[in-house]
Amino acid sequence: MADERSEDEAWLGIDLGTQSVRVLLAARDGTVLGSGSAPLAGRRDGVRHEQDPAEWWDGLCAASRAALSGRAKVPVGGLAVCGTSGTVLLTDGAGRPMSPALMYDDGRATAQAARARMAGLDVQDTWALPKALWLTETYGPGRITHQPDLVVSLLTGELPPADSSHALKTGYDVERDAWPAMLPRLGLSDTAIPDVVRPGTRLGEVCATAADVTGIPAGTPVVAGMTDGCAAQIASAALRPGSWNSVLGTTLVLKGASPEPVRDPTGVVYNHRAPDGGWLPGGASSVGAGVLTAAFAGADPAAMDELATAYEPSGAIAYPLVSPGERFPFLAPDACALVLGEPESEADLWAALLQGVGYAERLCLDYLHHLGAPLDGTLTFTGGAARSRYWNQLRADILGRPARVPRQTEPALGMAALAAYGTGAAPRLEEAAEAMVRIRATVEPRPGNTARFAEPYARLVDELTSRGWLPPPVAAHAHARLDGDTAQ
C-alpha cells in the first residue's frame, strides 16, 4: 500500500528518444531529484533511418549514472522505459542484436506493409510490423524486439515480454489481447513473436551486472513501459476520460483518454490500451512547428511572435504541413503545404503559420468529436512549442477553450509515474501522474477572439474539402460545430 512505503522513495523514468537517452529520478510529488542524458546518433539516407542498438545501452549507462550521482540515500522504488513508437530490430535467442534498429520513420518496408494490408491487417508503411517483415527477409529469422525490450533485457538479465503499447504497431490486437493469427503466413514464426503484457506489469528486477554499470540499485523493480507518445501523455496528466494532450513539436500529436476505443474507419485514429484497462486514442498530424524552422531559418521566435500580434487574423490562411502527405485529421498521401492569399510581410506569414497550426488542431478536435470521442475533460499543451506564451494564447483563442501548460513534460517523467503506479505506490495511474505533474499556467481564450478566427477556419475547411483531402461529412461536422450545432 502507498502509506506503507518510504516517503523519501523516488522513481526512475527512462526515455529512449531519437537524439538522446534521458533519465529522470522523480519524487512522488514530481520533484526532479536527478537527471541525466546522453546523445544518440542515427543514420539517415533517403527513406532509411537506423540506429545502432548498442548505443541505447551505452547511453542509458551514462545517463542513469548522472541522474543518480550523489543520490545514494534515495530509495528507488522502481523504473519504467519508453521508446520511439514503431522502432524495431531482430535479436537472437540470447537477446543479442542481429540487425540495426529500424527507426519509427524508416520507410523501406512499403512492399511488406502492402502485403500485410492485403492479409487484412490495418497497418501503415512505417509501422513496426512491416519493418519486422523486412528485417526477417533481409537478415534471416530472429526475435522481434522493440527499443525498450532490448534495454530491459540488459537491465534484468532476462528476455522480457513486450508491452502492448510498443507491440501495437507490430500488429498486436490490444482489444483481443492477442497476436493476429495470420502472422505466420506473412513469414513470422511463433519464436519470432514475443509474449505481451500490459504496461505497468512488473517484468523483473535490476540484476547485479546492470547495477554495476548503470548505478541503479540491484533489485530495483522494472515495470513494463509505453511508447514515447503515451509517456508524454502521462507526463501531462491527461488520463481521465475526456481529457486530451496536444503535443506541438516539429509535428502535432493529440492523445486523449476514453472509457471505450474510438472507432475510426479511416485508421488515422488508433487506440492504445491504458495500464488500468481504459483506452488512449490519438493521432499524429504532419503540421507543426517544423514549418517555422524551414521558412524562417535563424529567426528569433519571440521577436516574430511579438510582430505577429498585429495580424489577428492573418491576411493569409495556411495549412502548414512539415512534409508532404497528411495522416490526421484526414488521410491524404498527396496533401501538400498551402497558403491561401498573399501575406503582406514576413510577420504576417509567421502569423499565418502559427494560426494555421491552430486551425489544424481545431480540425483534429472536430474530427475526434465527429467520431464520438469524449472531449469534455481538460486540454493540456505540451511539446517544445508550448514554451511560446503567445502561441499558447493564440491556440486557446482559436480552439475556444482553456488549456493547461505543465512545468515538466518530459516522457521520462511519465515513465517515473508509470513506475510508481506499477509498483503499487498509487492505486491508479492518473493519481500517480496527477501527484507528479505540476501545472505552470492555465491559458484562457481571450473574450471575442475565438469569433475572430471563425471565418478563416471555415475557409480552410472548405479549401481542404475542395482539394479532395477532407471528407465532406467531416467538413460538414466542423461547420456545424463552428455554428454551435453539435448534433451528430
What are the pLDDT digits (tens) for 384-424?
899 999 999 999 999 999 999 999 888 999 999 999 999 99
> Are 147 and 252 part of one and the same domain?
no
Query: Does 411 reside within a domain?
Result: no
Quick one: cell of 274?
491504458
Q: What is the CATH number of the domain that holds 469?
A: 3.30.420.40
Determine the pLDDT at residue 487. Answer: 38
Determine the pLDDT at residue 172. Answer: 96
Query: Does 361 reside within a domain?
Result: yes
Query: Does 385 reside within a domain?
Result: yes
Q: What is the chain's mean pLDDT, rounded?
A: 94
Domain count, the chain: 2
> Are 354 and 384 part of one and the same domain?
yes
> Are 298 and 207 part of one and the same domain?
no
> Are 185 and 40 part of one and the same domain?
yes
Determine the pLDDT at residue 174. Answer: 94
Determine the pLDDT at residue 6. Answer: 62
pLDDT for 109 beyond 50:
yes
Measure the CA–CA gap between 474 and 465, rounded to whole angstroms: 9
Using the 3D structure, point to which of 228, 260, 291 is the last residue of a domain.
228
> Are 198 and 296 part of one and the same domain?
no
Query: Does 49 reside within a domain?
Result: yes
Query: Does 421 reside within a domain?
Result: no
> Are 149 and 270 part of one and the same domain?
no
Measure the CA–CA gap between 272 and 231, rounded to whole angstroms: 12
> Are 303 and 220 part of one and the same domain?
no
CA distances (Å), 146 to each of 75, 197, 225, 234, 451, in order?
29, 13, 11, 20, 46
Higher pLDDT, 194 or 333: 194
pLDDT for 3 beyond 50:
no
Query: Does 286 reside within a domain?
Result: yes
Rounded to the nearest 5°, which phi and psi values hold at 460? -65, -45
Q: In the chain, pLDDT over 90 holds for what percent of residues?
A: 88
Say if CB 87 and CB 101 are below 8 A apart. yes
Query: Does 412 reside within a domain?
Result: no
Helix axes of 346-370 and 301-308: crossing angle, nearest 10 degrees: 80
Determine the pLDDT at residue 30. Answer: 94
The per-residue b/e assignment along 293-306, b for 16 or more CB within 10 angstroms, e otherwise, is eebeeeeebeebbe
> Are 268 and 402 part of one and the same domain?
yes
> Are 60 and 107 part of one and the same domain?
yes
Determine the pLDDT at residue 134. Answer: 98
In this prediction, residues 103-132 reach a mean pLDDT of 94
> Are 311 and 458 part of one and the same domain?
yes
Q: In the chain, pLDDT over 70 holds for what percent of residues?
A: 98
Using the 3D structure, point to which of 177, 203, 228 is the last residue of a domain.
228
Domain that holds residue 163: 2-228
- Residue pLDDT, tens place only, 216-275: 999 999 999 999 989 999 999 999 999 999 999 888 999 999 999 999 998 899 899 999
Using the 3D structure, point to which of 228, 258, 292 is the last residue of a domain.
228
Determine the pLDDT at residue 5. Answer: 56
> Are 200 and 61 part of one and the same domain?
yes
Query: Does 333 reside within a domain?
Result: yes
> Are 192 and 265 part of one and the same domain?
no
pLDDT for 363 beyond 50:
yes
pLDDT for 2 beyond 60:
no
